[in-house]
Chain A
Amino acid sequence: MASSSATTIASPSSSGSGITERRGIPGAQFVEDVQTYLNQLGLDVTSALAVLQERLQQYKLVEMKLLAQQRDLQAKIPDIEKCLDVVATLQAKKGTGEALVADFEVAEGIYSRASIEDSDSVCLWLGANVMLEYSCEEATALLQKNLDNAKASLEVLVADLQFLRDQVTITQVTIARVFNWDVHQRRMRLSPAVKDS
């Protein structure tokens, strides 16, 4: 995620506060003291708030993308499990010698009956208009591998989302603190003036 802000924040003074980035997502710098932070940036309050808001928007964009990927994976996993189920059922039927009778959908709302003879192999749809024939064992192994990969990807994705949400929270808290600091500064500047007059 290329940072479009002009100032490059080389974070020296912040304590050992968290990772600087994760898989392309930049980490949000934790601010120990607002005054120091503003001096470091060399910006006034309004510009600093603008920079932080922009950062927040960028994070939100990445979050949308990750959420979409998560939804896709979460839809894929039950599909693979259903396929495993079917192959397992066919394998179970193999020993008995009887055909498996099933009703399947020909078109929406229209079903037809099929009698599936004993068979040692199944065909798997691999995507990109490609379908290959596999033995039941090979098919089970392949589907299981796909399932494991999908579940592993989902885990990584969830961890990414958690990291991202943490950075969003840090940025939101920083925005609130900069804003509050500014309000506090204004109050302090006003009150001596009122006392004097």
Chain B
Amino acid sequence: MQQGGGSETEVTWEDQQNINKFGRLNNRFHELEVEIKVAKESNENLEDASNELILTDEDVVRFQIGEVFAHVSKDEVEARIEQMKEVTTKNLEKLEEEKDSVVAQMAELKKILYGKFNDSINLEED
């Protein structure tokens, strides 16, 4: 938090709560960025896997379940991968939505806080 040049703007409990909320949202934003990156990677891997599957001419594929690779028929693997892709895509959508909401709330709070404190507060990423 930037230390201002001794300005006299008083900080009310409501201001403090807004600052706290901004902090929480900022943390959640960073967590979401990481989660979204992981979900995107997972999606890409599933895409690659399903592409490889089309290319292979084996009937039995070693599909990882838990820590072992079970011998599963190609059709079943295709179905499983499709299902996993759906789940990951839905999850990704949910995460993106949450991220948009968080960014919007942060913009609102920035307006309020900069409005009251102007230069005495710094809400940017360093």
> In the complex, which residue of chain A has the Cβ closest to the Cβ of B13?
A17
Q: Is the CB of A170 within 8 A of B68?
A: no
The CA-CA distance from A89 to B3 in the complex, in Å, is 59
- From B11, B68, B69, B70, A177 is in contact (CB under 8 Å) with B11
Is B8's CB within 8 Å of the partner chain A?
Answer: yes
A interface footprint on B1-26 (CB within 8 Å = 1, 0 otherwise): 11111111011110010011001100
Is A152's CB within 8 Å of the partner chain B?
Answer: no
The CA-CA distance from A184 to B7 in the complex, in Å, is 7
- From B3, B11, B62, A103 is in contact (CB under 8 Å) with B62
The CA-CA distance from A77 to B66 in the complex, in Å, is 13
Question: Contacts A172-B1, A184-B6, A184-B8 known; A105 to B16 CB distance under 8 Å?
Answer: no
Contacts of B1 in A (CB 8 A): 172-173, 176
> In the complex, which residue of chain B has the Cβ closest to the Cβ of A15?
B13
Q: Is the CB of B16 within 8 A of A103?
A: no
The number of chain B residues touching the other chain, given as a range, is: 20 to 34
Closest CB in chain B relative to A126 CB, distance in Å: 17
Is B51's CB within 8 Å of the partner chain A?
Answer: no
Interface of A is mostly: helix
Is A145's CB within 8 Å of the partner chain B?
Answer: no
- From B2, B3, B70, A101 is in contact (CB under 8 Å) with B70
Contacts of B10 in A (CB 8 A): 33
Question: Contacts A169-B23, A176-B3 known; A102 to B8 CB distance under 8 Å?
Answer: no
Q: Is the CB of B68 within 8 A of A173?
A: no
> In the complex, which residue of chain B has the Cβ closest to the Cβ of A166?
B20
Q: Is the CB of A85 within 8 A of B65?
A: yes
The CA-CA distance from A47 to B68 in the complex, in Å, is 61
Q: Is the CB of B23 within 8 A of A102?
A: no
Closest CB in chain B relative to A66 CB, distance in Å: 13
169-197 of chain A: CB within 8 A of chain B: 169-170, 172-173, 176-177, 179-184, 186-187
Q: Which 5 A-B pairs have the closest CB atoms?
A: A183-B6, A184-B6, A86-B66, A101-B71, A104-B68
Q: Sample 29 A-B pairs with CB under 8 A, ordered by A number.
A: A30-B13, A83-B66, A85-B65, A86-B66, A89-B70, A100-B71, A101-B70, A102-B69, A102-B71, A103-B69, A103-B71, A104-B67, A104-B69, A105-B68, A114-B68, A162-B24, A165-B20, A165-B27, A166-B20, A172-B1, A173-B1, A176-B2, A180-B4, A180-B6, A180-B7, A180-B120, A183-B5, A184-B7, A186-B6
Task: Mark B residues whose CB is within 8 Å of A.
Answer: 1-8, 10-13, 16, 19-20, 23-24, 27, 62, 65-71, 120
